[in-house]
Structure 1
Amino acid sequence: MVNRAPSDGPAAPAMHTARSVRTVLGDIGPTGLGVCNAHDHLFLRSPQLPGQELADAEAAAAELNAFRAAGGAAVIQWTPYGMGRRAAELPRLARESGVRIVAATGLHQAAHYSPELLARVHGDLAGLFVTELTEGIGGTGPRAGMIKVAGGFHGLDRHARHTMAAAAEAQRATGAAIGVHLELGTGALDVLDLLCGTLAVPPDRVILGHLNRSPDLVVHRTAAEAGAYLAFDGPSRAHHATDWRLPEALAALADAGFGDRILLGGDTTTAAARSVNGGPGMPYLLGRHRERLARTLGKDLVARFLTANPAHAFAADWAPTG
């Protein structure tokens, strides 16, 4: 095992005392986030996944309890607007499990929605995102703590560009981080060109998801050099042939001094993938997956991926409301 101490590379940016993470039970100091699953789903519904909905609240509770028993303290739910977030359930689940939950606003690829829904929200997406971040989801629900958008396979269509423009406007208004679904891990640099170039979003407010699915080490390093956070999520998926490349990819980033840009997540998207139904689920992140990464990277650096890094990535200087 190569010994890579947590101090390798540049230090994580200093945390301004006013910064906080917006959970479904209220804002907390970044250090209170704890061991964090930086990308997962408690509830999810899409016409692209018929019959595989995450809709059972008690199964979600069981999954959170299993994650907590494995040492987990926080879950960032990346389920955006119109995909069955069941936001009203999230505060109860957080209280009963003791796991901090961050909810998302935002919009996924057009394929996940009906044309009628897209037509209804198209005109003021930024306003919708800001409302959910500052007032609450659905008018009375908990506030979202991040914005989730999506690119396409090796490209950005008109829907993605419109959604990302709205996300950038909402980010400027609130300070929230923007998490980006990269289709099979592709298009990361196109996303950064749009969000951080054309739309002037600070790179450290952008989290690129699913990079493990496209183990292009040059792209990974380029994105890290730009200042974005890199999320490697969805381990132990039989149809993701790149899982075995993850230790190599993370080692390359750490050796180049970018250990402070890495986040880890589970990305449970179907009921069958939950640990309570026999899948890897949320606990896998803190069990065999963490152990495997520690063999290459060392326990301290992997702990940093799970604690200090998400604390910085999801904390924001939230703009005053009211």
Structure 2
Amino acid sequence: MHHLRTVTGPLAAEAVTGPALAHEHLALDLTRDTDPAAALTTRHTTAVVDELRALRAEFGLGLVIELTCRGMGRDAAALARISRHAGVAVVAATGWYYERFHPAEVAGHDVGALTALLTEEVTSGIGATGVRPGVIGEVGSHGDRPSAAETRTLTAAGRAAVATGLSVATHAQLGRGGLAQLDLLTAAGLSPERISIGHQDLLDDPAGHRRLAAEGAYVAFDTVGKEGYQSDTTRLRLLLELLDAGHADRALLSCDISRHGYLAGEGGQGYGHLFRSFLPRLRAAGVDEDTVDLLTRRNPVRFLTAGAGTARTTAAPPRAAYQKEH
């Protein structure tokens, strides 16, 4: 029996009987001088709990994959409190976001040291909380090719995933650079089925989505409802194209709530936009309930558990990167 590593302890994969949100934030701080509202802090905890509890009651929400990592204002203790109060399982993360948000530790360490840092956190827990990450993410890059620093953090993420048995979820800025991320992670020895390439719904590139899925990676349509970046009409078209190409088993869905203004209580789309707005449109387009369950429950659980039993005491030797044209 496979188990998920949640903020409140191990959870049997079979115990997740309702849908999951594959890429969310419940507690984070990305505020900079230019963006002071990019936060979900303790001031917003009650609103977050209320939303998740309501989604559990109305739609059976069973799991949130929370991808706030190092340098993003991660708060593992808050995640544990939110999970308990909402009655929804939460998986916490480790890794590094894209370069703009790298903490100083990245510049001071090589790939080996960064790998060891992540592996230690997965093994021993986040700080003094005892909360152990259950996924590595959202490990980021921006542009068509990762920067030198992002190459190191992505490589470290891949090696740490091999060493610990966890899977990796990425942040591809505006959807770009996904194939390059896949190259780096597979070169570190990680199997594609343990990789989710993020924010692909922001990139109108059906052929690119098919390529990622054909390689075996998950294609994350994880900013559903963020109409300022992409219309849900376009997201729906792109998802239907991926499903029609036979890759329903490689799509992940979520809303990526990453600032308090997105909360329903503040007039935003909220964590429930996927269930209340987007999935009804998907059903109206002819997608059946078994496929909806695949997209929202079985796929995210399979993604998280794909490496179960494969953890190594030392990272595997790098395998040859897939040869791709960019």
Considering the TM-score relative to the shorter chain, is it more than 0.5? yes
Letter in 2 for 1:22: R
Is 1:26 aligned with 2:26? no
> Residue 129 of structure 1: CA displacement?
1.3
2-structure distance, mates of 1:255, 1:320:
37
- When structure 1 is superposed on structure 2, of 42-51 and 202-211 the one drifting more is 42-51
Letter in 2 for 1:165: T
Give ranges in structure 2 of 5+ residues lacking alignment. 314-326
Correspondences of 1:226-245 after superposition (within 5 Å): 226-245=215-234
> Residue 120 of structure 1: CA displacement?
5.3
For 1:53, which of 39, 54, 57 is the aligned residue? 39
> Residue 146 of structure 1: CA displacement?
0.5
Letter in 1 for 2:46: E
Letter in 2 for 1:64: L
1-structure distance, mates of 2:90, 2:110:
28
1-structure distance, mates of 2:5, 2:97:
21
2-structure distance, mates of 1:260, 1:106:
25
Structure 1 segments (4+ residues) deviating >3 Å? 116-123, 318-321
Q: Secondary structure at 1:282's aligned position in 2?
A: coil
Q: Secondary structure at 1:307's aligned position in 2?
A: helix
Counterpart residue number, 1:39: 23
2-structure distance, mates of 1:62, 1:302:
25
For 1:67, which of 43, 55, 72 is the aligned residue? 55
Letter in 2 for 1:145: G
Q: 1:241 to 1:320 in 2, by over 3 A?
A: closer
Q: Secondary structure at 1:287's aligned position in 2?
A: helix
Give ranges in structure 1 of 5+ residues lacking alignment. 1-16
Letter in 2 for 1:70: E
Letter in 2 for 1:28: L
Counterpart residue number, 2:283: 294
Letter in 1 for 2:209: H
Asked if structure 2 preserves the Cα contact closer than 8 Å seen for 1:154 and 1:183, the reply is: no
Letter in 1 for 2:3: S
Correspondences of 1:142-221 after superposition (within 5 Å): 142-148=131-137, 149-196=139-186, 198-221=187-210
Q: 1:64 to 1:120 in 2, by over 3 A?
A: farther
- When structure 1 is superposed on structure 2, of 56-65 and 267-276 the one drifting more is 56-65
2-structure distance, mates of 1:271, 1:140:
24
Asked if structure 2 preserves the Cα contact closer than 8 Å seen for 1:70 and 1:287, the reply is: no
Give TM-score scaled by structure 1 length.
Answer: 0.88
Deviations 1:103-138, CA, capped at 9 Å, x for gaps: 000000121245x34345667221221122221111
Asked if structure 2 preserves the Cα contact closer than 8 Å seen for 1:47 and 1:112, the reply is: no
Asked if structure 2 preserves the Cα contact closer than 8 Å seen for 1:80 and 1:104, the reply is: yes
Q: Secondary structure at 2:211's aligned position in 1?
A: helix
1-structure distance, mates of 2:230, 2:312:
45
2-structure distance, mates of 1:241, 1:94:
30
Q: Secondary structure at 2:224's aligned position in 1?
A: coil
> Residue 190 of structure 1: CA displacement?
1.2
Q: Secondary structure at 1:132's aligned position in 2?
A: helix
For 2:95, which of 101, 106, 110 is the aligned residue? 106
2-structure distance, mates of 1:252, 1:238:
20
Counterpart residue number, 1:282: 271
Q: CA RMSD in A?
A: 1.9
> Residue 258 of structure 1: CA displacement?
1.0
Q: Secondary structure at 1:230's aligned position in 2?
A: strand
Is 1:77 aligned with 2:66? yes
Letter in 2 for 1:44: L
Deviations 1:131-157, CA, capped at 9 Å, x for gaps: 222211114331100011112122210
2-structure distance, mates of 1:161, 1:134:
23
Deviations 1:74-98, CA, capped at 9 Å, x for gaps: 1110000122221012222212211
Q: Secondary structure at 1:76's aligned position in 2?
A: strand
Asked if structure 1 preserves the Cα contact closer than 8 Å seen for 2:115 and 2:157, the reply is: yes
For 2:303, which of 299, 313, 319 is the aligned residue? 313
Asked if structure 2 preserves the Cα contact closer than 8 Å seen for 1:213 and 1:243, the reply is: no
> Residue 278 of structure 1: CA displacement?
1.2
Structure with higher RCO (Cα < 8 A, 6+ apart): 1
> Residue 47 of structure 1: CA displacement?
3.8
Counterpart residue number, 2:319: none
Counterpart residue number, 1:272: 261
